[in-house]
Amino acid sequence: MTLTLWNDPKRFLRRRCVLFVCFLTFPYTVIGCPTSNDMKRYSFIYLLPGILIFAGCSEPEVPKRQYQEFIVDAPPPAEHATDDPHHHAHMTDIPLPAETPPPAQSAEFEWDTPEEWREEAGAGMRLATLLIDADTEQAECTLIVLGGDTGGLQANIERWMEQAGIDPPYGDAMRAYVDGLEQFETAGGDTGLLVDFDPFVDDASATSTLVGIIERGEETLFVRLTGSKGLLASERERFISLCKSIR
């Protein structure tokens, strides 16, 4: 019973008020009702405790609870164990198919750099870069070795023409051009082809290209010179000498 009263404060207060009212009426019940004069004299004495008791029967103030919000970052999800060695590999670590064949690992080529040409060391499949510094312009010659299938002669010629801004011929015209390419022998005993875009370029200041293609076993060396048509025409013989010096 005590547990119920304390768990319900309103019910406890109501019962407390009833008990005190009974206490106030007890003197009238036991002693008897006083005279009218006594009632007037002592009414205040009897009523004062009741007023104080009833005034204290108001509902108690319920304390308000205050809450404070805390934002806690969730820990990262645990990684599951796996036996796959590539499970943690980043996407950039996954090798993508190359547009060109990988460089030949066993390629060893030597050449004689023409006078007045400047040579810079290469890296990877580019063996070297040769630069021609003219009065007002410059040309660049690269030596690149590839292994395996290099994409086909005609396909390579068409791509080089597009890179130089030249509209490649099609059909019989392209086949006739490929069949008429000039051949040469290198110092190492290899046979090479000379590709010259001069017939397809009209303006002397427009970009043109000279390419020497030298096959050695399963490896192919591309000697490619790019610059203006006028500059390449003046350096054509030095370029051919470079290609023939390959050994």
Shared-domain flag, residues 51 and 134: no
Highest mean pLDDT pick, 30-39, 57-66, 74-83, 186-195: 186-195
Give residue 89's pLDDT band: very low, low, confident or very high (50, 70, 90): very low
Alpha-carbon gap, residue 225 to 201, rounded angstroms: 15
In-domain check, residue 62: no
Lowest model confidence (mean pLDDT) among 98-112, 181-195, 199-213: 98-112
Predicted TM-score (pTM) above 0.85: no
Shared-domain flag, residues 27 and 123: no
- Residue 138, both tokens: 């410059």
- The per-residue pLDDT for range 138-153, each reduced to its tens digit, is 999 999 999 876 789 9
In-domain check, residue 184: yes
Last residue of a domain, one of 14, 33, 55: 55
Alpha-carbon gap, residue 151 to 168, rounded angstroms: 17
Count Cβ atoms within 10 A of the Cβ of residue 209 and give its class: 0-12 exposed, 13-18 middle, 19 or more buried.
buried
Helix/strand/coil for 107? coil
Shared-domain flag, residues 124 and 238: yes
User: CATH code at 150?
Assistant: 3.40.1000
Shared-domain flag, residues 126 and 215: yes
> Higher model confidence: residue 13 or residue 117?
117
In-domain check, residue 51: yes
Last residue of a domain, one of 20, 36, 55: 55
Task: Determine the pLDDT at residue 150.
Answer: 79
Alpha-carbon gap, residue 129 to 119, rounded angstroms: 6
* Enclosing domain of residue 14: 2-55
In-domain check, residue 188: yes
Alpha-carbon gap, residue 130 to 180, rounded angstroms: 27
Alpha-carbon gap, residue 200 to 229, rounded angstroms: 10
Last residue of a domain, one of 12, 35, 55: 55
Shared-domain flag, residues 122 and 41: no
The domain tally of the chain equals 2
- Using only the alpha carbons of the chain, give its radius of gyration: 52
CB 164 within 8 A of CB 207: yes
Shared-domain flag, residues 36 and 127: no
